């Protein structure tokens, strides 16, 4: 068959047609239930992620329920298990490689419970955000994660707590603060009831909001502080 015949039968199609190159690729890191991931998926489906697209969900645990949430919505998943690597550095290098392969523009730690090496923060400076279930600088840093954060808030007897979304730096929970939302503590609260209310009233709201702001290019970091330019 002559080349011209073939061209007529199979007209040339631009393989890049329809791809929005301005859309930000989001990679979400998870370790557990994935309710914050769900909030991001819901926001994406409502068109409220500022054009960002959840490209991939990476879990540090093979049994994380968050993986099912991703699969149910057709989002590709990967598992990079900490115990498959000899140390934090090797684990972090594997993660960086995966983030490069996914062309990540933004990395979101949504209940990601594995400590990473400074190499990850350097590779993605001001491009990794984390949600923490307290008003930083209260109840944060090493050892403050998940339910422990709420136990500590109740133990101290604070009347108000909340959630924080911040950029990830080499200092644990110490990076520039993007958004915070306060939540009242009620007299009969247990760590579990408080965790649920902080998630519902704060985390599931401010995490998608921060991702939207990032994807719209509305967050600048100056002198260690995040500035939102609406």
The residues carrying an active-site annotation are: 132
Q: Among residue numbers 185 through 214, which ones bind ligand GAR (CB under 6 A)?
A: 199, 203
What's the length of the chain? 230
| Span of 81-89, 99-107, 126-134, 180-188 interacting with ligand GAR by CB under 6 A | 126-134
Determine, following the binding rule CB under 6 A, whether residue 36 of this chain makes contact with ligand GAR. Answer: yes
Let me know if 153 is exposed, middle or buried by CB neighbors in 10 A (0-12, 13-18, 19+).
buried
Residue 121 token pair: 């923060």
Exactly one of 110, 135, 206, 211 binds ligand GAR (CB under 6 A); that residue is 110
CB of 184 to ligand GAR, least distance (A): 17
Residue 32 sits in the site that holds ligand GAR (CB under 6 A)? yes
Name the minimum Å distance from CB 73 to ligand GAR: 15
Nearby residues of 101 by Cβ (< 8 Å), 6 or more positions away:
none
For 21, 52, 71, 97, 149, the CA distances from 130, given in Å and listed in that order, are 25, 16, 22, 20, 15
Stretch binding ligand GAR (CB under 6 A), from 17-25, 33-41, 46-54, 178-186: 33-41
Tokens found for residue 82: 């900490």
CB atoms within 10 A of CB 13: 7
Nearer to ligand GAR by C-beta: 97 or 184?
A: 184
Q: Is the previous residue joined to 43 through a cis bond, with omega within 30 degrees of 0?
A: no
Query: Taking CB under 6 A as the rule, does residue 33 contact ligand GAR?
Result: yes
Residue nearest to ligand GAR (CB): 111
């Amino acid at each position: 068959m002559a080349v011209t015949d073939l061209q007529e039968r199979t007209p040339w199609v631009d393989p890049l047609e329809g791809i929005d190159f301005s859309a930000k690729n989001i990679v979400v890191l998870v370790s557990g239930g994935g309710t914050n991931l769900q909030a991001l998926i819901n926001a994406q489906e409502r068109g409220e992620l500022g054009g960002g697209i959840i490209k991939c969900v990476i879990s540090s645990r093979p049994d994380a329920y968050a993986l099912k949430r991703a699969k149910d919505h057709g989002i590709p998943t990967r598992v990079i298990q900490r115990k498959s690597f000899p140390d934090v550095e090797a684990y972090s290098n594997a993660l960086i490689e995966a983030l490069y392969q996914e062309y990540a523009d933004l990395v979101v730690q949504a209940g990601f419970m594995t400590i990473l090496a400074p190499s990850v923060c350097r590779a993605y400076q001001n491009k990794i955000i984390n949600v923490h279930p307290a008003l930083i600088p209260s109840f944060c840093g090493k050892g403050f994660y998940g339910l422990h954060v709420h136990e500590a808030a109740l133990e101290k007897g604070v009347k108000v707590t909340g959630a924080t979304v911040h950029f990830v730096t080499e200092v644990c929970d110490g990076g520039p603060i993007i958004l915070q939302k306060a939540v009242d503590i009620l007299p009969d609260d247990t760590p579990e009831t408080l965790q649920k209310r902080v998630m519902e009233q704060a985390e599931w709201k401010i995490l998608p909001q921060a991702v939207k702001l990032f994807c719209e290019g509305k967050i600048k970091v100056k002198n260690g502080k995040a500035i939102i330019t609406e």
